[in-house]
């Protein structure tokens, strides 16, 4: 645990020194929340902002998680990862420390978005469900942070990782239930959305906002997060840089 704490604090200190990066990471989801949620006249709901806010929260966590892989990329480029892997501390400490930091950073960004949404009039029927909302975002963040860190370990340079990131992030978001409910999607998109883990998180948070509870969505996210973590641990144990 001490090793995990060290790597977590290291990345936290590095992030807090770059305030412009913090600000930039909030601009896009905030813009989506304001300009898409408030501006689009959507017929299937009286208040599209209420509908899209869970999608923006999950999108914020998704992008923060996938961008988190660059932390490991730069450690590789600068030669730090070689030294970390040679230390007597278990290699999983690197993985878990970075995953926890990336999830923590995503939760901070999501908190800002959630606060803006409440100020803009988003209705949350039961504020007691907010801790569960954070739990869903945390599990979702662990899932995609583990994927991002594992990919970053396997690719050779920043450009390769950036290409994979851009190729995966927007399709994952647009093929989810973020922008419209499943029943209004074309049949082919409904099938993809039903298999998309981004939809599981969005649908679960959307149900929490309305005062209901989707246990299946949380269980599915936990199972996927555990499976991906096991793969990530295996890859890290065999890693050579």
The predicted structure's pLDDT at residue 121: 82
Is the pLDDT score of 148 beyond 60?
A: yes
pTM for the structure as a whole: 0.90
pLDDT (average), residues 74-96: 81
Mean of pLDDT over the chain? 85
Per-residue pLDDT of 91-114, as tens digits, reads: 788 889 899 999 998 998 888 888
The predicted structure's pLDDT at residue 200: 93
Structure tokens at 199: 């939809």
pLDDT (average), residues 117-144: 89
Binning pLDDT at 50, 70 and 90, where does residue 41 land? low
Is the pLDDT score of 73 beyond 80?
A: yes
């Amino acid at each position: 645990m001490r090793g995990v704490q060290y790597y977590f604090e290291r990345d936290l200190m590095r992030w807090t020194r770059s305030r412009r990066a913090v600000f930039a990471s909030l601009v896009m989801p905030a813009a989506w929340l304001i300009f898409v949620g408030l501006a689009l006249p959507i017929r299937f709901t009286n208040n599209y902002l209420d509908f899209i806010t869970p999608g923006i929260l999950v999108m914020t966590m998704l992008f923060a998680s996938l961008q988190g892989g660059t932390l490991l990329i730069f450690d590789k480029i600068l030669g730090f990862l070689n030294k970390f892997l040679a230390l007597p501390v278990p290699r999983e400490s690197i993985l878990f420390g970075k995953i926890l930091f990336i999830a923590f950073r995503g939760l901070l960004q999501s908190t800002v978005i959630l606060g803006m949404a409440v100020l803009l009039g988003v209705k949350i029927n039961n504020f007691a469900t907010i801790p569960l909302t954070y739990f869903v975002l945390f599990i979702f963040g662990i899932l995609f942070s583990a994927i991002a860190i594992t990919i970053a370990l396997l690719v050779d340079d920043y450009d390769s990782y950036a290409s994979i990131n851009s190729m995966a992030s927007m399709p994952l978001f647009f093929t989810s239930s973020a922008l419209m409910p499943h029943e209004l999607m074309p049949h082919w998109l409904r099938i993809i959305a039903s298999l998309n883990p981004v939809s599981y998180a969005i649908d679960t948070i959307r149900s929490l906002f309305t005062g209901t509870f989707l246990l299946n969505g949380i269980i599915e996210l936990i199972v996927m997060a555990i499976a991906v973590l096991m793969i990530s641990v295996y890859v890290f144990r065999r890693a050579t840089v």
